[in-house]
Chains A and B, each alone.
Chain A
Amino acid sequence: GAVVSQHPSWVICKSGTSVKIECRSLDFQATTMFWYRQFPKQSLMLMATSNEGSKATYEQGVEKDKFLINHASLTLSTLTVTSAHPEDSSFYICSARGRRREQFFGPGTRLTVL
Chain B
Amino acid sequence: AQSVSQHNHHVILSEAASLELGCNYSYGGTVNLFWYVQYPGQHLQLLLKYFSGDPLVKGIKGFEAEFIKSKFSFNLRKPSVQWSDTAEYFCAVNASPRPPGGNEKLTFGTGTRLTIIP
**Chain A residues packing against B (C-beta within 8 Å):** 1, 4, 32, 34, 41-46, 49, 57, 93, 95, 97, 101-108
B44 at the interface (CB under 8 A from A): yes
Q: Is the CB of A103 within 8 A of B110?
A: no
Residues of B near A4 (CB, < 8 A) are 43
Partner of B106, one of A34, A42, A57, A106: A34
Question: Interface of chain A, helix or strand or loop or mixed?
Answer: strand
Closest to B109 in A: A43
Residues of B near A43 (CB, < 8 A) are 90, 108-111
Q: A105-B45, A108-B43 are in contact. Are A49 and B105 (CB under 8 A)?
A: yes
A102→B106 CA distance, assembly (Å):
10
Q: A105-B45, A106-B43 are in contact. Are A32 and B104 (CB under 8 A)?
A: yes
Closest to B4 in A: A43
Residues of B near A49 (CB, < 8 A) are 103-105
A-B residue pairs, 7 tightest by C-beta: A105-B44, A107-B43, A43-B108, A43-B110, A49-B103, A44-B108, A105-B43
Partner of B32, one of A46, A101, A107, A108: A101
B40-81 CB mask vs A (1 if < 8 Å, else 0) is 001111100101000000000000000000000000000000
Residues of B near A44 (CB, < 8 A) are 44, 90, 108
